Structure 1
Amino acid sequence: MNQLRNCILGISFGLSMAAQAQSGKEIMYVGTYSVRGSEGVYVFEFDRAAGTMQPLQSVSNAKSPSFLAIHPSGKYLYSVNEGADKLGGVSAYAIDKATGKLQFLNGQSSLGGGPCHISIDQTGKTAFVSNYGGGSLAVLPINADGTLSAAADSVQDAGTGPNEKRQEKAHVHSATLAPDNRFVYVADLTTDKLNIFDVDAKASTVKPASTPYVSVKPGSGPRHFTFHPNGKYAYLVEELTSTVAVLSRNPKTGALTVIEDNVKTLPADFTGQNTSADIHIDPSGKFLYQSNRGANTLAIFAIGNDGKLTKVADQPTEGKTPRNFLIDPKGDFVFVAHQDSDNITIFKRDQKSGKLTYTGQSVKVPAPVCVIMASR
């Protein structure tokens, strides 16, 4: 399952939500850091016809519920609690089918500090939590009622990298399920590796795959990872060098091969400090987008038949520090969450060229760092 599916899962909300679809309104969820008055997780209604977001609910969580994921059934939402103590935290919420609003179910430890990413396997039985501060992966069973059980497995990473400030110890940044749900790919910013694990979703356990990892350029800093819709190619944000790596995948073994590394994502005339953050591919598989914090842009690439990238444009995001962003499942809109300017900006997307046009719509949210849509 690619990053787009991880942070934008297609789900069903029943007849009442179908009525909302007919009116052009859809439900969105925003994860935040607990600063500048943030209340926790925010729920919005998106009016597709008008291109606007209206607030529906805020759910109290003072532990920085940053990254979010929706259960494949559409009945539950999960947040990592990045501001929890050294044992970390994950929260489960029930989604009201009629309104899209949330109700807290339960929480569990992520067995490591600074949990920053969560993904759910396609069966909906297992959650994978990446602990940035703890440098580990936690694997949590999901019960039939959507609640989380205590972690059934965990993997501690170790190592250092050439960037002494950022690669002083292991920093696990994301865990991405393969399209076939057989493997999970775990990015460690410090070791410059994608670690590859076989997944047992029923038991909520993992073990190293026959090819246990792929390495990228030292000092590049792997962060987020996404698969092309065709499953043949995958793309990795290299945070510290503001680049992207292109990889091919062996569907039998899950092994990855780098076919293009350190592809530059910054505007040619940019000379300041920058770190890259998020990465998504549009539903057609024709274009790739990557966010840059510092340049405050989305880099836009065309994807060739061989999986390789050609730069199309650099789109200013109309805010400061663009973290996660969302390409809506229909490919018409892009929503960019800005951590440091407290806003989400909305862009119209040209499906032929891949280019973006700012709609002028900017929604106020304190320190937004993840935005996802509950689509039908």
Structure 2
Amino acid sequence: MNKLVRCFLGIMIGLSTTAQAQSNKEIMYIGTYSLRGSEGIYVFEFDRSKGTMQQLQAVSNAKSPSFLALHPSGNYLYSVNEGADKSGGVSAYGVDKATGKLQYLNGQSSLGSGPCHISIDQTGKTAFVSNYGGGSLAVLPINADGKLSAAADSVQDVGSGPNTQRQEKSHVHSATLAPDNRFVYVANLSTDKLNIFETDVKASTVKPASTPYASVKPGSGPRHFTFHPNGKYAYLVEELTSSVAVFSRNPKTGALTLIQDGVKTLPDDFTGQNTSADIHIDPSGKFLYQSNRGYNALAIFSIGNDGKLTKVGDQPTEGKNPRNFLIDPKGDFVFVAHQDSDNITIFKRDQKTGKLTYTGQSVKVPAPVCVIMAKR
């Protein structure tokens, strides 16, 4: 073998090794409350081979950039600014695809106080912002350069529920787009309803669907909502009763039919205070996870062929107040953000059983409340 060939092979092996190392590293974004020294949004690099996270950047935002969403292109990131004034706030950031780092682009009003959730439609043309304090939904156009325009539409909800402390007025908690991008489902914690809207993402407007809402038990408190990968079933966090509701979905009309209600997420012997928060399904569609704050654990369910849930177990999350969590797109890891103990814990996931094992990795982040991962 001559020197030229050996040199060429050496270069190719070096490039392959570098590419393999880079393929093991993925970018993560953490939204926080502006408490205990939090700088705003944190950018981390996750090394899949080692199961570790390393901070790359802290992006200054003193208005509690709590919930985050990535643009479908991966070129932009959006945050609600929950600590903004009564007109609310939303920020847009450009993403450096080479490094994952963020640069501020612009901001807009969310037309209501306490914006707590944002979602982006699949075309990347429209953002849907839920105002918890204002009890409303704002619909904002996204420009070709990723910047946000002023809201083109909004819906003010009204109503209350039997829990006089938490359901005293309208509290819109999330807006979740259907897999077909035709409907958006808006959870109101106070009215115990999921309002259903048809979307026009080109015009950034919404209108009530032919079946305009689905109801759950009074006092249950709808919070976050997710769809099964097959699109036939959907699952709702009932925050105030620490339970989950299961729906089948009509893809033509968007209507929901309740097929399993008030499924308990807590052990029978738990007697403390608890509220449920986040909900996710693994990529295979076999298991569902829901976070419980107070019990400080993830409830684990298997999903039947009929969409119904069977409790598998509970996994302590190694922190206090597990708000948001992430199942990585490959289904191998789960990351749990703890609002009150200022840490994100990492778990390995058994894809056959759905069970979790704590890796011993805990990353310090002040008041983390949202964790997402960039698509590769």
TM over 0.5: yes
CA distance in 1, matches of 2:222, 2:39: 30
Task: Report the CA distance between 1:19 and its aligned residue.
Answer: 3.9
**In the alignment, what sits opposite 2:4?**
none
CA distance in 1, matches of 2:278, 2:52: 23
SS in 2 for 1:283: coil
**In the alignment, what sits opposite 1:152?**
152
Task: Report the CA distance between 1:267 and its aligned residue.
Answer: 2.0
CA distance in 1, matches of 2:353, 2:97: 36
SS in 2 for 1:311: strand
**In the alignment, what sits opposite 1:93?**
93
**In the alignment, what sits opposite 1:10?**
none
**In the alignment, what sits opposite 1:170?**
170
Alignment deviations for residues 126-149 of structure 1 (CA, whole Å, 9 cap, x no partner): 000000000000000000000000
**In the alignment, what sits opposite 1:289?**
289
Larger relative contact order (CA 8 Å, sep ≥ 6): 1
Question: Is there any run of 5+ residues in structure 2 with no aligned partner, and where?
Answer: 1-14
**In the alignment, what sits opposite 2:139?**
139
CA distance in 1, matches of 2:213, 2:375: 33
* 1:298 has 2:306 as partner: no
1:318-333 equivalent positions in 2, closer than 5 A: 318-333=318-333
CA distance in 2, matches of 1:19, 1:76: 24
Amino acid aligned to 1:174: S
CA distance in 2, matches of 1:298, 1:21: 31
1:329-340 equivalent positions in 2, closer than 5 A: 329-340=329-340
Is the 1:20–1:26 contact (alpha carbons within 8 Å) kept by the matching residues of 2?
no
Q: TM-score, normalised by structure 1?
A: 0.95
SS in 1 for 2:67: strand
Task: Report the CA distance between 1:22 and its aligned residue.
Answer: 4.2
Amino acid aligned to 2:352: K
* 1:69 has 2:69 as partner: yes
Task: Report the CA distance between 1:269 and its aligned residue.
Answer: 1.8
CA distance in 1, matches of 2:20, 2:273: 43
SS in 2 for 1:66: coil
SS in 2 for 1:240: coil
Task: Report the CA distance between 1:23 and its aligned residue.
Answer: 4.1
CA distance in 2, matches of 1:111, 1:162: 27
Alignment deviations for residues 324-357 of structure 1 (CA, whole Å, 9 cap, x no partner): 0000000000000000000000000000000000
Alignment deviations for residues 176-215 of structure 1 (CA, whole Å, 9 cap, x no partner): 0000000000000000000000000000000000000000
CA distance in 1, matches of 2:287, 2:260: 16
**In the alignment, what sits opposite 1:343?**
343
1:216-365 equivalent positions in 2, closer than 5 A: 216-365=216-365
SS in 1 for 2:128: strand
SS in 2 for 1:331: coil
Task: Report the CA distance between 1:21 and its aligned residue.
Answer: 6.7
Is the 1:285–1:303 contact (alpha carbons within 8 Å) kept by the matching residues of 2?
yes
**In the alignment, what sits opposite 1:127?**
127
**In the alignment, what sits opposite 2:25?**
25
**In the alignment, what sits opposite 1:183?**
183
CA distance in 1, matches of 2:205, 2:36: 38
Q: Which has the larger radius of gyration?
A: 2
Task: Report the CA distance between 1:299 and its aligned residue.
Answer: 0.1
Runs of 4+ in 1 over 3 A off after TM superposition: 18-23
SS in 2 for 1:65: coil
Q: TM-score, normalised by structure 2?
A: 0.95
Amino acid aligned to 1:290: Q
SS in 1 for 2:301: strand
Alignment deviations for residues 130-174 of structure 1 (CA, whole Å, 9 cap, x no partner): 000000000000000000000000000000100000000000000
SS in 2 for 1:336: strand
Q: 1:258 to 1:211 in 2, by over 3 A?
A: same
Task: Report the CA distance between 1:268 and its aligned residue.
Answer: 2.3
CA distance in 1, matches of 2:21, 2:261: 41
Alignment deviations for residues 227-284 of structure 1 (CA, whole Å, 9 cap, x no partner): 0000000000000000000000000000000000000001222110000000000000
Task: Report the CA distance between 1:97 and its aligned residue.
Answer: 1.1
CA distance in 1, matches of 2:100, 2:341: 26
CA distance in 1, matches of 2:266, 2:282: 20
For the aligned residue pairs, the C-alpha RMSD in angstroms reads 1.1
